Amino acid sequence: MKSPESLNYLVLNELAGLFNAQLCDFTFYATLPDLPKTETDFVKLLDSVPIGNEFFDSTVPLNYFSEVYGEILKAQINQPLSIEIGLNNYNNTENWIVPYTVPKYTPTLNTVKEAIENSSKPHLMVKSNQHPIRIPVYPEFPVLVVSNPLMEFNKEVEKAIITTTITFNQASSQRVLFGNWFSSAAFLYAYQTPSNWDDSVISWETVFNEETGILKYINSYITAVSDMTIEIHISGNYNRETITMLESVPEQVIFPFYQKINNSSISYRLEEDKSITIRLVVPKNQNYVFGMQYISVKHLLT
């Protein structure tokens, strides 16, 4: 988590709030991947188990809730009524898109697409001089070798007023709900009865240990957007050489994500007052995954 005294934190916090989320419970898909094209791939996104990171990390192997839940049911030695009902629901092929591989969830892919089409145009603006910033606002360039001109620019930017504007053409957050393959009563019984687990299938500690367990969080909302534009205005007294230097930086990425955004284009403009505007635009008329809100798995246990 970034420091609350950084502009990064302020912008990300405003972004999460734009979608009625808390930054501490939101994972940004900072590379802005395309919204999946098939229901199967979309469900895999909903079914993935979040690990509580601020940004989605594609290098971390994913667990899937429906798979872990199935192992939990199989691990129960004794089968009281709640577990029996849970197994019957889980084994009912009508509750799956692809039996025991792709479960049914709400919302569907089409529901999300329709919600995006019918949504408003979200917009936020954050100015660095309106908040108590004690950490330099824009000295983070993700390149291994920083040139002297870039270092000098960073020092100038530390004294600047930064205005960050982020606009989406359309956006929507939809609540994520399990299909009938899931039984809260069975899940609760398994959690409350660790002595009933066959550890050769999967152990209670493997699933629920507070430090190392697989299930700490579950997805609660998915946020998808159509188009995104980020504009960063930097006050100061710059020149054409500054623009040329910025344009020469390889693999340039942009605040507040500092990750290469899906097929985006970036431009630098020297304004009449010698300030600089940096503008990033993603391809238009496409839907993107912006983030996932998550909650503690303990919400399923109350």
Measured distance CA(119)–CA(112) in Å, rounded: 10
Q: Which segments of 179-288 does DSSP mark as H helices, in order?
A: 184-192, 204-208, 240-247
Contact assessment for residue 226 and residue 288, using Cβ atoms and an 8 Å cutoff: yes
**Cα–Cα–Cα angle for 233, 236, 242, nearest 5°?**
85
- pLDDT, residue 241, reads 93
Structure tokens at 36: 């999946």
| CB under 8 A, 24+ apart: contacts of 203-207 | 203/75, 207/68, 207/72
**Cα–Cα–Cα angle for 137, 142, 145, nearest 5°?**
115
- Is the pTM higher than 0.95? The answer reads no
Mean pLDDT of each 10-residue bin along the chain, 302 residues long: 68 92 94 95 97 90 96 97 98 96 97 93 81 52 58 78 91 97 97 97 96 95 95 92 86 73 91 95 93 91 77
Measured distance CA(293)–CA(173) in Å, rounded: 9
Q: Which helix (H) or strand (E) holds 296?
A: strand 287-296
